[in-house]
Structure 1
Amino acid sequence: MQPIYLDYNATTPIDPLVAEAMKPYLNAHFGNPSSAHYYGFQTRQAVEQARRQVARMLGCAPDEIIFTSGGSESNNYAIKGATLANRQRGNHIITSQIEHPAVLEVCRYLESLGFRVTYLPVDEYGMVNPQAVQKAITDRTILITIMHANNEVGTIQPIAEISRLAHAHGIIMHTDAAQSIGKIAVRVDELGVDLLSVAGHKLYAPKGVGALYIKRGLRLEKLIHGADHEQNRRAGTENVLEIVGLGKACQLAQESVDQEQVRLKKLRDRLETLLLTAFPEAKRNGHPQKRLPNTLSLSFPGVEANLIVSQLSESVALSAGAACHSDEVTLSHVLQAMHVPESIAMGTVRLSVGRFTTEEEIERAAKQIIDVIEKLKPGQDLPASDAELSEIKLTHFTHGLGCACKLRPQLLEEVLQKLPTPVDSRLLVGTETADDAAVYRLRDDLALVQTVDFFTPIVDDPFDFGRIAAANALSDIYAMGAEPIFALNIVAFPANRLPLSALEKMLAGAQLTAQKAGISIVGGHTVDDTEPKFGLAVSGVVHPEKIWKNIGARAGDVLVLTKPIGTGVLSTALKRGLLNKDQQIHLVEIMARLNREAADALRDFEVHACTDVTGFGLIGHLLEMLKGSEAGAQLYLDCVPLLPETRHFIQMGIVPGGTRDNLQFTAPFVDYGSLSDNERLLLNDAQTSGGLLVSLSQEQADDFCKRLPGQCAIIGKITAQKDPFIRVQPTQQTGI
């Protein structure tokens, strides 16, 4: 059974009647509407029929409608077109703080061109006060753009009143009506606007098509130049197939909006009643009456929205209004503008019903949502979970949609700089080298190495998670040239959300990895938590004169990497259900593979510097090595081994938050040359249980790689130049 879809404000499915209307234009009617023959006439008629359908719904003339690629283009054309065409009259724009990015980002762009923008505040319900609009108007104001209804909380703005104020001062009025059309009646004559944006995919038409109402007599600066399509306003051969779909969708919306509005409100109110009855402390966001009939925004204090969304991912589709990270809570700009306290806003979810939502789905969805929130509420003394282990997907019990990432590097550095440097002659490695382990001399021939590492699940199977977490923790020991001797478990576990059999499997997976490392796990510490976390505190031994540090790289050395990168991207893709079975197996095996074999082989060579590649990514860990070594490096992108499909998923935007944080932190120290943004993200991808990164002489590196065929890659070289610390080339041009 597919999840119940309660995210209609994000997008709508194509109505079957819309799809049926589009079918003839897939094959039979393929002509260019500008062609002066039969095939062109057929498609021209279809475009004009759709124009009439949109116009009838909006209550305007057909020649006041032009077709666009969607709501974003319509907003861009309306705002840029109106302001640029009228800049001789003024340079001031008025908008609100809760607009869609397709409005806010346009306004910020226009600010860079010299325009001045007033971003009006809203009240606790997300409503713009017309009096605030009146006060903001100056003799240089040329455009007011306020959305008709907010996409997050559903509040409907007093557009007609604001339009009257605008016209009293000779100001152009635009509204983004993407969310309101199809849910309530939208008529341009009643709203009094000069410009109105329509997005097809919000009203059961395809994605990639929209419309813009332009009042007769209003001149806009062109956004797209070319031939004289769309009344010489928007160049480009018309997207006939989708325009036909938009026209049909508008016809259906016009015919059904009155009864559909009543039906949607009934469903929405039933869902609201069920949830507020179960959680009377929850806060409703948006105006109690003046809001879209299908939209429900609720905040659940003490619960994290992304945990709710993640837990419901296979049963109910909804949206989060806040994202909780390791170091901060990111609230939507709408909730911020409404001054919803962070402690409440962090638990905000948006539920939006639509044309195909049924009463039975509402009842079932409410039950699922209530069950999840009950288990997530703090201080709940609930019985241990009795869920079947076979049903468990461990990644669904973690915060957010990315992999577990460390505290942002810039924040960690800020904290560490405030701590006093340890003073102990026996401490051979402390905080000064950026190594993830400490080394303490016990005797002249023996030193103790200790490290700790833990994180949230990045794979669904508890046994595999245990294997990977153990391999990740042991990696820090191997990166110091040491031998592990024993380990302790570190466990956080939500016993009321996960069966104890999942914990047993996690520990069993870790035990298997420990056995491969030749050590025992002898105990540990466990706490109850809202999400599972697991790792090890590992102890090892090394000769004090044979320690590998994350410093000591020399100009002329080459850099060797012992595992491919891409685990952060692929584990995020896995959490979103985008990896097939073979890809999952390969990813797990790479992360669960110990660095023991590589470390054993390295002991026969002269290692100048070594680290393992984990949460700070390849660039981040290399940067630490170079800063400590007072050296620079040249990297060759084509030499860096990648896990299959990593580039594909980055192109899809499947990037963990830690990877973006890493790129932001390392950017000032790296010359990426001609590399694309995606390639830069790739090199900063936050890894889990990555390989060893080693600085060796060229000859030693060649021999080491021969020792481990297929596991090593020479990816760059150490240089004396350290401004910037790292230079990246797309290819190895001159040999290493």
Structure 2
Amino acid sequence: MQPIYLDYNATTPIHAEVAAAMLPCMVTLFGNPSSTHWFGVQSKKAVEQARAEVADLLGCRADEILFTSGGSEANNLAIKGYCLAHRRRGSHLIISAVEHPAVMEVAAHLGTLGFEVTTLPVDRYGLVAPRDLEAALRPDTLLVSVMHANNEVGTIEPIAELAAMAHAHGAVFHCDAAQSVGKIAVRVDELGVDLLSVAGHKLYAPKGVGALYLRRGIVLEKQIHGANHEHDLRAGTENVLEIVGLGAACKIAGRDLSNNMTRQALLRDRLYEGLTTRLTDLQRNGHAQKCLPNTLSVSFHQLEANAILDQLPQVAASAGAACHSDRITVSPVLKAMGVATEWAMGTIRFSLGKMTTEEEIERTIDAVCRVVEGLRGLSSDHADAAQSGRIELTHYTHGLGCACKLQPQNLEKILAGLPQPTDPALLVGAETSDDAAVYRIDSQTAIIESVDFFTPIVDDPYDFGAIAAANALSDIYAMGGEPLFALNLVAFPSNRMPLSSLERILHGAVDKAREAGIDIVGGHSIDDTEPKFGLAVTGRGHPDKIWRNVGVRPGDALVLTKPIGLGVLTTAMK
């Protein structure tokens, strides 16, 4: 069955009509628009037609549109271009706390050049309060930049009111409208902005093309130097192919805007209704009314978004937080809105588009609810999966194998503060980062002890158990010893996975231990949110024949038990 694409805020497919409009540029319309012969003139006409189509959608004059390589370049040209051109008049700019990195990073760069940046807070919906802007404006404020609609939660800012306030204090107003153009009406005359950025791939045009609206009379400093293309503000031969595509996309967006807004809002609301009908502990992020019609950001309490998405291979959506072994990275937007970590970590953005169907929304509701119910132990799906043999272990964990370890530099800081062992019988401790500890019993015998466990690196439970056991046993061999016996270490999500999967993991470990000539004689288990498995292995060796990580000499043999890079490749295969 075809996967469901609900990530239109990340990028959109090229509209069929856009592709058709671009086709002549790849066949016959190849001239340089700066050339004065017939071929150049035809390309120039195509570029100017596209310029007029973009201007028509935005409600401005064609000569107020500059073509760029995308939204990021448009933001850079607007913000850096204006501030650098007018730095004698002031050195202060204002942005909001929920801007895209293409604005945030530009402002940060200007900060290194001596500009002062004020970041406006937002409320719990992601809205900028006009009173906060008014309080931040100063006589030396050059520019205010606030996005039109947020890419993560869809909240639409009160741009017209904010722009009017900036103008009243002598500042110009830039708006990053990458997410709003094509989704809602964006008319620069109604918004009252001086600069506005457009990203082509957000409205069914190709990637690599964008535009900047530049109100007549606004002076910018050129950022790409060379010839005098685009009103001498952006050097470089025009990308005719993609500019034509952007023009066509803007024409289509204006034509279909009303129908698309109504239809996508209905589908988005149905998605939210379907989720809230079946699930509890779910909250919506962003403003319910002042919101893009296609965007739904929801948080599932105390769940990890990536854990949900890992079990939804049939649905393409975006997570609002990244959960690492030692930390949870919450999106700056959710953090600025004050979304608590236990909610933010489970945030998923569903963004709909022209191609989204009612049937896809119903499938998404059912799939998401099944996964969330399973993660919360409210579903019998794991029993169904066991009967059908559909258990894939890597879908139940946020990381793979040793990639889930704590960062060594952080762990070393903790260990450095602990008392160091003083027992003279301890031959190998933590100081050399060896594979195992070694303790001398007598002149002929030393005990070698190691423990190793990790999250699944393969989907098959039996194979995972065998691999984990082999990994733990290899620690003993690596020290020059032989294993004697082992104990299981088990962490298992019994509410998410059938116990038959754990049985197969243990069988894999037992068979591998028998290959080594030892028994697994017990162990310890806990109920956990994701599967983890390994062994604590006891071995023995001669005290004078222990191999360490130190002491290697030129000419010694280095034995590779597997190809270098295998771990990287298996992780990438997920």
Q: TM-score range by the shorter chain?
A: over 0.9
**1:121-140 equivalence runs, <5 A:** 121-140=121-140
| One-letter amino acid of the structure 2 residue matched with residue 114 of structure 1 | G
Question: CA 1:44/1:413 → structure 2, altered by over 3 Å: closer, same or farther?
Answer: same
CA-to-partner distance for each residue in 1:597-617, whole Å, 9 max, x for gaps?
xxxxxxxxxxxxxxxxxxxxx
Query: Conserved in 1, the CA contact under 8 Å of 2:308 and 2:372?
Result: yes
Supply the distance in 2 between the matched residues of 1:414 and 1:315 (Cα, whole angstroms): 42
Q: Tell me: higher relative CO, structure 1 or 2? Use CA pairs within 8 A at least 6 residues apart.
A: 2
Q: Which amino acid aligns with 1:494?
A: P
The offset of 1:483, in angstroms, is 1.3
- 2:247 is matched with 247
The answer as to 2:527 corresponding to 1:528 is yes
Correspondence list, 1:200-599, <5 A: 200-312=200-312, 314-377=313-376, 380=378, 384-387=382-385, 390-399=389-398, 404-553=403-552, 560=558, 562=560, 563-575=562-574
Give the superposition deviation at 1:380.
Answer: 4.5
Q: Give TM-score scaled by structure 2 length.
A: 0.95
- Tell me, in whole angstroms, the C-alpha distance in 2 between the residues paired with 1:510 and 1:292: 52
In the alignment of these two chains, the number of paired residues is: 572
C-alpha change, 1:40 and 1:122, in structure 2 (3 Å) is same
Task: Name the residue aligned to 1:182.
Answer: 182
Q: Secondary structure at the match of 2:263?
A: helix
**Residue number in structure 2 paired with 1:605:** none
State the alpha-carbon separation in 1 of the partners of residues 331 and 123 from structure 2: 16
- Match of 1:123, SS state, is coil
Which structure 2 residue ranges, 5 or more long, are not aligned?
A: none
Would you say the 8 A contact 2:439–2:448 is kept in 1? yes
1:86 matched residue in structure 2: 86
Q: Could you say if the C-alpha distance between residues 402 and 224 of structure 1 is closer, same or farther in structure 2, counting changes exceeding 3 Å?
A: farther
Checking the alignment, whether the CA contact within 8 Å between 2:397 and 2:455 is kept in structure 1 is yes
Alignment partner of 1:26: what SS? helix
CA drift of 1:402 comes to 9.1
Which residue identity lines up with residue 359 of structure 1 in the other structure?
E
Structure 1 letter corresponding to 2:540? V
> What's the CA shift for 1:176?
0.3
2:400–2:457 Cα contact (<8 Å) kept: no
What is the distance in 2 between the residues matched to 1:193 and 1:538? 68
The residue aligned with 1:68 is: 68
- The code of the aligned residue for 2:534 comes to G
Displacement of 1:190 in angstroms is 0.5
1:451-503 alpha-carbon deviations (Å, 9 max, x no partner):
11111112233333233222222222122111122222222222343344433
User: Contact 1:459–1:574 (CA<8 Å) still a contact in 2?
Assistant: no
Gaps of 5+ in 1: 576-736
Q: Which amino acid aligns with 2:502?
A: L
User: Would you say the 8 A contact 2:402–2:454 is kept in 1?
Assistant: no
What is the deviation of 1:505?
Answer: 3.6
For residues 113 and 560 of structure 1, what CA distance do their matches in structure 2 show? 52
1:376, distance to aligned residue in structure 2 (A): 1.2
What is the alpha-carbon root mean square deviation over aligned residues?
2.0
Output the CA distance in 2 between the equivalents of 1:163 and 1:252. Answer: 28
Residue 125 of structure 1 aligns with an amino acid whose one-letter code is: Y
Distance apart, 1:28 and its partner CA: 2.1
Deviation at 1:299, TM superposition (A): 1.0
> Matched residues in 2 for 1:569 and 1:42: separation?
50
Offset at 1:382? 5.2
- Structure-1 separation of matches of 2:270 and 2:450: 53
Opposite residue 175 of structure 1, the aligned amino acid is C
- Measure the CA separation in 2 of the matches of 1:504 and 1:280: 32
Per-residue Cα deviation, 1:57-79 (whole angstroms, up to 9, x for no partner): 00001111111111111111111
- Does the 8 Å CA contact 1:384/1:497 hold for their aligned counterparts? yes
Provide the secondary structure at the position in 2 that maps to 1:391.
Answer: coil
Instruction: Tell whether 2:101 aligns with 1:101.
Output: yes
1:467–1:43 distance in 2 versus 1, CA, 3 Å:
farther
Report the Cα distance in structure 2 between the residues aligned to 1:199 and 1:502, rounded to whole angstroms: 47
Q: Percent of pairs identical after alignment?
A: 63
Tell me, in whole angstroms, the C-alpha distance in 1 between the residues paired with 2:202 and 2:178: 6
TM-score by length of 1: 0.75
Aligned partners of 2:383, 2:44: CA distance in 1, in Å?
62
**CA distance in structure 1 between the partners assigned to 2:77 and 2:400 by the alignment:** 34
Other structure's SS at 1:385 match: helix
Counterpart AA for 1:385: A
Provide the C-alpha distance between the structure 2 equivalents of 1:201 and 1:543, rounded to a whole number of angstroms. 66
Partners of 2:400 and 2:262 lie apart in 1 by 35
What are the Cα deviations for residues 70-94 of structure 1, in whole angstroms up to 9, with x where unaligned? 1111111111101011111111010
Deviation at 1:40, TM superposition (A): 1.5
Q: 1:393 to 1:237 in 2, by over 3 A?
A: farther
CA gap of 1:206–1:400, structure 2 versus 1, over 3 A, is farther
Deviation of the 1:381 alpha carbon: 7.8
How many Å separate the matches in 2 of 1:276 and 1:21?
A: 42
Q: Cα distance, 1:5 vs. partner? A: 1.0
Q: For 2:119, give the aligned amino acid.
A: Y
| CA separation of 1:279 and 1:213: change in aligned 2, threshold 3 A | same
| Stretch deviating more after TM superposition (127-136 or 398-407) | 398-407
Question: How far is 1:219 from its partner?
Answer: 1.1
CA contact (8 A) 2:401 2:456 kept: no
Q: In 2, distance between residues paired with 1:560 and 1:76?
A: 52
CA 1:403/1:33 → structure 2, altered by over 3 Å: closer, same or farther? farther
Aligned letter for 2:58? L
Contact residue 148 and residue 177 of structure 1 kept, 8 A: yes
Q: Tell me by how many angstroms 1:426 deviates.
A: 2.8
Contact 1:451 1:473 in 2 (8 A): yes
Call closer, same or farther: CA 1:38–1:558 in 2, change over 3 Å: farther
Match of residue 19 from structure 1: 19
Contact kept? 2:401, 2:454, Cα under 8 Å? no
Contact 2:449–2:539 (8 Å) recurs in 1: yes
Inter-partner Cα distance in structure 2 for 1:43 and 1:569: 47
Q: What is the Cα deviation at residue 557 of structure 1?
A: 7.5
Match of 1:655 in 2: none
Assess, with a 3 A threshold, how the Cα gap between structure 1 residues 402 and 161 changes in structure 2: closer, same or farther: farther
* 2:383 match: secondary structure: coil
**Equivalent AA in structure 1 for residue 249 of structure 2:** A
- Cα distance in 2 for partners of 1:546, 1:287 equals 68
Residue 425 of structure 1, CA deviation: 3.4
TM alignment of 1:146-157, pairs within 5 A:
146-157=146-157
**Residue 405 of structure 1, CA deviation:** 2.4
Whole-angstrom distance in 2 between the partners of 1:38 and 1:510: 75
* Partner Cα separation in structure 1 for residue 223 and residue 504 of structure 2: 59
Aligned equivalents of 2:556, 2:478: Cα separation in 1: 17
Is this contact kept in 2: 1:324–1:400, CA < 8 A? no
Query: Are the counterparts in 2 of residues 404 and 457 from structure 1 also a CA contact under 8 Å?
Result: no
Structure-2 residue corresponding to 1:692: none
Aligned partners of 2:94 and 2:145 also within 8 Å: yes
Comparing 415-424 and 105-114, the one that deviates more? 415-424
Are residues 257 and 381 of structure 1, via their aligned partners in 2, closer, same or farther at CA, if it must alter by over 3 Å? closer
Amino acid across the alignment from 2:512? T
In structure 1, give the amino acid aligned to 2:527: D
SS in 1 for 2:189: helix
Question: Residue by residue, what CA displacement relative to the aligned partner does 1:672-698 show, whole Å, maximum 9, x if unpaired?
Answer: xxxxxxxxxxxxxxxxxxxxxxxxxxx
Alpha-carbon distance in structure 2 between the residues aligned to 1:559 and 1:229: 63
Partner of 1:618: none
- Counterpart of 1:713 in structure 2 is none
